Amino acid sequence: MAIRDIIYEDPATRSVLELGCGEGKLLAFLAPLQDDIIIDRLCGIDLDPLTLQVAERTCAVTDLDRRDPRPTPLTIDLYHGSLADYHPDLAGVDCIVCTEVIEHLHPDTLARVAPVVLGRYRPRRFIVTTPNAEYNKYFPNLKYGTSEAVFRHSDHKFEWTRAEFQQWCDGAAQRYGYTVRYSGVGSTAESTSEGIGHCSQVATFTLPSHTKAMSPSPPPPFESDTDPVVPTLHTHITYPYAAPPTDDEELAPILIDAMTRLLRCRREDVLDDAVGPLNTLSFADLWYDWHVRRQFTCRDDFADHLARNAQWDIVVPTANEAAGHGPAIPYHDWQVVCRAPLPNLTEAIRTGGDVPDEYQVTNPLATAELQYPVDENGAWL
Entry pTM: 0.70
Question: How long a stretch of residues is the chain?
Answer: 381
d(CA 172, CA 111): 10
Q: Domain check: are 202 and 288 in the same one?
A: no
Q: Are residues 217 and 254 in the same domain?
A: no
Task: Say whether 336 sits in a helix, a strand or coil.
Answer: strand
Q: Where are the beta strands (DSSP E) in 145-255?
A: 179-185, 200-206, 232-239
User: Would residue 259 count as lying in a domain?
Assistant: yes
> Predicted confidence band at 341 (pLDDT cuts at 50, 70, 90)?
low
Residue 316 lies in a domain: yes
**Buried b or exposed e, range 30-61, using 16+ CB within 10 angstroms:** bbebeeebbbebbbbbbbeeebbeebbebbee
Strands 312-315 and 95-99: unpaired
Q: Do residues 233 and 253 both lie within one domain?
A: no
Residues 226 and 295 in one domain: no
Give mean pLDDT, residues 33-53. 88
Q: Residue 381 falls within a domain, yes or no? A: no
Mean pLDDT of 303-322: 73
Residue that is last in its domain, among 219, 239, 259: 239
Q: Are residues 192 and 341 in the same domain?
A: no
Residue 260 included in any domain: yes
> Residue 119 — very low, low, confident or very high, per pLDDT cuts 50/70/90?
very high
Alpha-carbon 215 to chain mean position:
28
266 and 155 housed in the same domain: no
CA distance 200 to 185: 5
- Asked if residue 177 and residue 106 are part of one domain, the reply reads yes
- Looking at 186, 204, 239, the residue that finishes a domain is 239
Same domain (yes/no): 97, 114 = yes
At 148-163, the pLDDT tens digits run 889 999 999 999 999 9
Mean pLDDT in residue range 288-297? 77
Q: Are 140 and 36 found together in one domain?
A: yes
Q: Given strand 335-338, what is the order of strands in its sheet?
A: 280-282, 335-338, 312-315
**What's the average model confidence in pLDDT over 260-278?**
57
Give the DSSP letter of residue 375: -
Predicted confidence at residue 345, as pLDDT, reads: 53
Task: State yes or no: pLDDT of 277 exceeds 80.
Answer: no
- Quote the number of domains for the chain: 2
Give the pLDDT band of residue 228 (cuts 50, 70, 90): low
376 inside domain: no
CA distance 69 to 295: 11
Residue of 262, 270, 256, 267 lying closest to 352 (CA atoms):
267
C-alpha neighbours within 13 Å on the C-beta side of residue 345: 23
Q: Among 206, 239, 272, where does a domain finish?
A: 239
Same structural domain for residues 69 and 121? yes
345 closest CA partner among 287, 278, 283? 278
Domain identity same for 223 and 284: no
φ, ψ dihedrals at 237, nearest 5°: -120, 125
**Per mean pLDDT, which range of 56-70, 87-101, 161-175, 267-281 is the poorest?**
267-281
Same domain, 29 and 142: yes
Q: Is residue 129 part of a domain?
A: yes
CATH of the domain at 227: 3.40.50.150
Find all residues with CB under 8 Å of 153, minimum gap 6, and list them: 103, 104
In the chain, alpha helices (H)? 2-7, 25-30, 49-58, 63-67, 107-114, 162-176, 189-193, 248-265, 267-270, 283-287, 290-293, 299-308, 345-351, 368-371
CB 52 within 8 A of CB 60: no
Cα gap 57→81, rounded to integer Å = 19
**CA dist 279 to 101, 275, 292, 302, 337, Å?**
53, 11, 17, 18, 6
Q: What's the domain range around 130? A: 2-239
Residue 8 lies in a domain: yes
> Does residue 80 form part of some domain?
yes
Order of strands, edge to edge, in the sheet holding 74-80? 179-185, 200-206, 125-131, 95-99, 15-19, 41-46, 74-80, 232-239
